[in-house]
Structures are given as structure tokens and as C-alpha cells.
Amino acid sequence: MDFLTPVYLLAALLIGTTLQSSSPPILNEATIFSVGFLVIALSLYKKKINKIVKRVSSARLPTACGSFVVYCYKSMSDGLEHVAIVKGEIGKGKNVLVRVHSECLTGDIFGSARCDCGNQLELAMKLIEEAGRGVVVYLRGHEGRGIGLGHKLRAYNLQDNGRDTVQANEDLGLPVDSRDYGIGAQILKDLGVKTMKLMTNNPIKCIKLKGYGLEVSERVPIVTPITKDNKRYLETKEAKMGHLYSLGTQNAIY
């Protein structure tokens, strides 16, 4: 789709031009908005149709949750290495139990109680092991819903001073959620997944993955223990970001 490249570059050039004080009068706000929308749409379209990851290697991976095969995928745009762990035969790719997990070093590696990431990852692996078939896609570069580890820790300090997880990102002048799932979708397609039972509490993730041509046959809630340390975080994601939890007593351990 090389013909898209000149259009994309022209649109980017127009936006750059309008941001300068000598903007041509013909480029009014409506034009800027339209061109901006075009850039975003083309960017998403290119991610949908162009291959942006390549499979690098794979190996057997015994874990505390069960035995999997781990695949390494490398992004061709930024060189980041992403991971997929697979259980069983994907076969025709129908109704595969899938977790698309955003990297959270503090939660996944150190077991931080500030969020539910580590517990969700472990639960997803256990559910796949029980089912005998499924995939966890582990996406790098999604730290702090896309703001990066350094900014995430700054946001933690703001949260300790009373801001919630959404307000903290906004106070830092950063997006509340800038995660893109184009790479995740391409990894799933490469593994042969066509329709999936997606383990997530985030309905927007279902919509975003559908936008890349994957079908979500079912959303599987993945609710993990609610504690005094993550309760406000989870409540904020439910109230402001549309996440679905049952914040009832059955999950409370405090």
C-alpha cells in the first residue's frame, strides 16, 4: 500500500505547517481536524494491513502455572520484543481463550499491590492451563497504559497525594490510555487465532481488537482480589474508563 505513504506524509506536513504562526489562511480548524483524523485513520489502516511484527523464535516454557510454548515477536517499527505464550493446539483458531496483557513491570515482576496486573496475568495463565488451550500475548511498551515506567512512578506519587489514576496522568499532561493493540492483533493472527474468548475487564480492549479484524466471541471477566491498596485504582477504572468488575465482597480480602 505504498500509495498511502505520500498521502500520509502530506497530511503530516499540513499539520506541521498549521502549527506554525505563518499558517496559510486556507488551513482553518476544520481542515486541521480533518487532516488529523485522516492521519490517525491511515495510521490505523496501515497497522491493520501491513505486517509490523515478525516471529523471531520459540521455545518450550514450563512454568508454575503449567507448560506453554513461548514465542518472541519483534516489532519492525521500534525493535521492541513482544511475547506470546501458547497452550495446546490453536487448530482452526475458533473460540481461543486469550489474554492480551499490557506490560506492568511493578505488578508482573514485583507483585505490586497498587494494581491488579500481576494477579490477572497469573489467573489468565491458570485458566488457560485448565482449559488446555489458549494464548497470552504480552505487550511491551504498554507500561502505565502507555506513558512509560518513569511517568507511571510519577503518577503513583500524585495518587499518594489524593489524585486518582486518571487525574494523575492528566496532571502530568499525558494520555489516560494510549495503548494500541495492532501488534497484539498481528501476533494473534500469526498464531492462527481467528475468534477468541477474551479475558479482560475492559470492553474497550474488545472494540480495539475487533478494529484490527479479530472477532471476540465472548468476554471473559478476569477479576482478582481487591485490596486496600488497589481498591481506589479499580473503582476509578470502573467509574471513568468503563471497566467491569463486581466490586463485591466475594473478591474482597481486606
Residue numbers at the binding site for Zn ion (CB under 5 A)? 104, 107, 115, 117
Rounded to a whole number of angstroms, the minimum distance from the CB of residue 109 to Zn ion is: 10
Residue closer to Zn ion by CB (options 177, 215) is 177
Rounded to a whole number of angstroms, the minimum distance from the CB of residue 189 to Zn ion is: 26
User: Distance (Å, rounded) from C-alpha 249 to C-alpha 161?
Assistant: 27
Instruction: Kindly name the residue from 133, 163, 171, 177 that is annotated as catalytic.
Output: 177
Rounded to a whole number of angstroms, the minimum distance from the CB of residue 153 to Zn ion is: 12
User: Distance (Å, rounded) from C-alpha 194 to C-alpha 93?
Assistant: 5
Rounded to a whole number of angstroms, the minimum distance from the CB of residue 115 to Zn ion is: 3
Residue closer to Zn ion by CB (options 129, 143) is 143
Residue closer to Zn ion by CB (options 35, 104) is 104
| 177 classed as catalytic | yes
Residue closer to Zn ion by CB (options 111, 132) is 111
Residues labelled as active-site residues: 177, 179
